[in-house]
Structure 1
Amino acid sequence: MSEVKIRSPDVSLLSGLGLAVLGAVFFSGKAIVAKLLYQHGIDAVTLIGLRMLLSMPVFVGVAIWTWRRPPRLGARDRLRIVALGLVGYYGSSMLDFMGLQYISAGLERLILFLTPSFVLLLGVLFYQRRVARRQLASLLCAYAGIVLVFWHDLGVGGRDVALGSALVLAAALAYAVYLLLSGELLERVGTLRLVALAMSSSSVAALLQYALLRPLPGLFEQSAAVWQLSLINASLCTVLPVFVTMFAVRRIGAGLTAQAGMVGPVSTLFLGWWLLAEPITALQLAGTGLVLGGIFLLSARKV
C-alpha cells in the first residue's frame, strides 16, 4: 500500500497571518480606547499628546538603533521623513481622534479602511495610473457599504455624524498621501527605520501642539484611569500593531496582510458593542460586509 503524505501547514504563512490579524485587531482597538478616554472628559489634543508621550521612547530608541544603517540619510531625506511623519501619523491621527468625538467606533474603522482606495484614486489623479474593472468594482462596493453605515449613524447622531465622518475621511486621505509618497523612500531607507523616524517626528509634533494650546504641565495632571487607558493606547494600540504588522508584511507580503487586516472593522464593531454599548444592526452588518468585500477585491489583486 502506498503511503499518503499529508502536507504540513506552512508555519511561516500561518504565523504571518496570525501577526497580521493580531496587528489589525489591536490597531483597531485604538478607537475603543479613545472612546473610553473621552468619557473621562479629555479632548483630542490631550489624547494624542498622552499617546505619543508614552510611545515616543520606543520609537526614538528604534530610530537611534537603526540610524547608522546604510544608506546614510542626507538633509533632503530627513526633511522628507519628517514631512511624511507629520502628514501620515501626526496629521492623520489628530483628524481621526477629533472625528471619533462625533461618530461610532465602527463607522470610524470602516472609513479608515477606505485608505487603499484613496491610494488608488490619487495614483490615477497624479500619476495617470489606469483603473482596472476589478478595481472599479471594489471601489463601488466599498463606498456603497460606507454610505449604508453612514446613513444609519446619521439617523442616530445627526449633524455631528457628518462632521465626524468628514474628519475621519480627511484622516484616511492624509494617510493615503503618506503611503503614496513613501514608496521609494521605504524601499531605500527600510521599513523599520522609516517608521521609527516618522513616528518620532509625529510624537514631537503632538507634544509641541499640546504645549502651544495648553499649559504643558497639565498633560501630566491626569487621573489614574486616564493614564492607564493612555498606556494601553500607546503600547497595545500603537507600538505593538506598528511593529507586528511590519513583521507580517515581511513574512507574507502586503497583499495577504491587507486581507487579514480586514478583521479590523469587524473586531471594532463587536468591541464597540461589548465595551461601549454601540448597537449592531442589520444595516451596519450589510455595510460592513460591502466594505470588506470591496477591499478584498482590491487587495486580492496584489497577492
Structure 2
Amino acid sequence: MLRRYGEWRNQWKDQMTPTASHRPTSAALNMVGAMAVIGAIDIYVAVIAQTISLWQFLIMRLLLAAPIVLALSAMGFGTVRPRRVGAVTFRSTLIATGMFCYFGALAFMPIAMALAGLFTSPIFVLLLTAFVLRQRIGPWRIIAVAVGFLGILVVLGPSGGSLGWVIVLPVLGGMLYASGVVATRALCEGESTLTLLLGIFVAQGALGTVALVAITALQPEVGAGGIAFLTRGWVWPMDEAWPYLLLQVFGSVLGVSLLNRAYQLGEASHVAVFEYSVMIFGPFFGWWLLGQPVTWMQGAGIALIVLAGVIIAVRSKDAGQRPTDPEGRSTT
C-alpha cells in the first residue's frame, strides 16, 4: 500500500512540478477539466451572496483553502515557496482583483452573462501577447477570437444594457484576469503550481480584509439584492453558507490547480481559448441545479464560442507541421 501511495504521489508531483516544455494537448485537457469544476461550483456564489458578503467569502476561502494547499505541500506534492516573490505577488494580485469583479457580478446576473463578460479575457490575452510580449499571432487565432467575441455579444444580448454599470464588472474582471494569464507564462514559468494557487488565495484574502475593514469603518447602507453582497460587513453565524463555502474551497483548489498547470504547459493565447468550455459547463449547471434559464439566443452565442475553441484546437494540433518565421515561431 505504501508503494502504491508513493507511485501515485510521484505521478501527481510530476503534474504539479514546473516545466518549461510546451505540451498543447495536456494543456488543453487540464484547462477543460478546470472549467468543468469551476462551472459547477461558481453557480453557488449567487446562493452565498444571499447571506454573507463578497469580502467575507474571499477571507473564508483563504482560511479554508490554505491548510489544504499547505498539507499537499507537506505530503510532497510541490513547494509553496515562490522563486520570485515579486512576480508571484504581481500575478496573484491581478487575478485576485479580476476574480473579485467576476464574483461580484454573479450576485447580479445569471452565470451565463457573468461568464460572457469575463470571457472578454482571451481578447485581452491576444492583445497583450501581440503588443506586450511581441509574439506573432497567426490569422486563424485572430479569426477564432473574433468568432468567440461575437458569441459573447450574442450571449449578453439586449438585456445586458438594463444592468447598467454592473455589466462593466465582469468585463473589467476579464481584462485583469487576462493580464494575470500573460504574467503566468511571462513571469512565473518555473513556479510550482501550489505556489501560484496559494498566491491567488492569499491575494484574495488580503483584498477581502482591506475591503471589510473599510466597510466596518464607513458603515454604509447594506441595501438589498446583489448590492448587499458588496456592502455587508462580517456576518455571524453563517450556517446557511457553510456547505457552499466548503464546496467552493475544495472545488477551487482542484480547478485552479488544473488551470495554473494548463498555462504552464501551453502558450497563453492557445490555452486561453479552451477556457471557453466553461461557457458550456456554467450555463448547464446553472440551469440543471439552480433553474437559471438559457435562451435560444444565449445558446447560439455559446455555439459560436465553442466554434472558436474548435478552430484553435485544430490549428494548434497542426502547428508543429507548419512553417515558422526566422525566429522559430509558427506562422499559422
TM-score higher than 0.5 here? yes
Q: Aligned to 1:285, which of 287, 291, 299?
A: 299
1:229 is matched with which residue? Answer: 244
Give the Cα–Cα distance (whole angstroms) in 1 for the partners of residues 128 and 267 of structure 2: 22
Structure 2 length as normaliser, TM-score?
A: 0.70
AA aligned to 1:28 is G
Match status 1:276 vs 2:290: yes
1:91 matched residue in structure 2: 97
Aligned partner of residue 135 in structure 1, secondary structure = helix
The CA distance in 2 between the partners of 1:125 and 1:258, in whole Å, is 17
Q: 1:122 to 1:20 in 2, by over 3 A?
A: closer
**One-letter amino acid of the structure 2 residue matched with residue 271 of structure 1:** F
Gaps of 5+ in 2: 1-14, 16-23, 218-232, 318-332
Q: What's the TM-score once normalised by structure 1's chain length?
A: 0.76
In structure 1, distance between residues paired with 2:264 and 2:85: 24
8 Å CA contact 1:102, 1:163 repeated in 2: no
Gaps of 5+ in 1: 1-11
CA distance in 2, matches of 1:87, 1:261: 18
Q: Deviations over 1:181-209 (max 9, x none)?
A: 22243323333333333433433333343
- 8 Å CA contact 2:98–2:174 kept in 1: the answer is yes
Deviations 1:145-196 (A, max 9, x none): 1111111433xxx532x43331111111111111112224332333333333
For the pair 1:200 / 2:188, whether they are aligned, the reply is no
Correspondence list, 1:137-286, <5 A: 137-154=143-160, 158-160=161-163, 162-214=164-216, 219=234, 221-236=236-251, 238-246=252-260, 261-286=275-300
Kindly tell me: are residues 247 and 127 of structure 1, through their superposed partners in 2, closer, same or farther at Cα, counting changes over 3 Å?
closer
C-alpha spacing 1:204/1:67, structure 2 compared with 1 (3 Å): farther
Q: CA deviation at 1:58?
A: 2.5
> What letter corresponds to residue 60 of structure 2 in structure 1?
L
Task: Pick from 80, 84, 88 the counterpart of residue 87 of structure 2.
Answer: 80
* Residues 148 and 304, structure 2, Cα contact 8 Å, conserved in 1: yes
SS for the counterpart of 1:25 is: helix
Matched-pair identity in %: 19
Report the CA distance shift for 1:197/1:100 in structure 2 as closer, same or farther (over 3 A).
closer
Local SS of the residue matching 1:137: helix
CA distance in 2, matches of 1:92, 1:150: 19
Q: Hey, what's the Cα distance between the residues in 1 that align with 2:80 and 2:261?
A: 21
Question: Pairwise CA RMSD of aligned residues?
Answer: 3.5
Structure with higher helix content: 1
The aligned amino acid for 1:50 is M
Q: What does 1:47-126 align with in structure 2 at a 5 Å threshold?
A: 47-61=57-71, 66-67=78-79, 73=83, 77-88=84-95, 90-126=96-132
Q: In the comparison of the two structures, how many residue pairs are matched?
A: 278
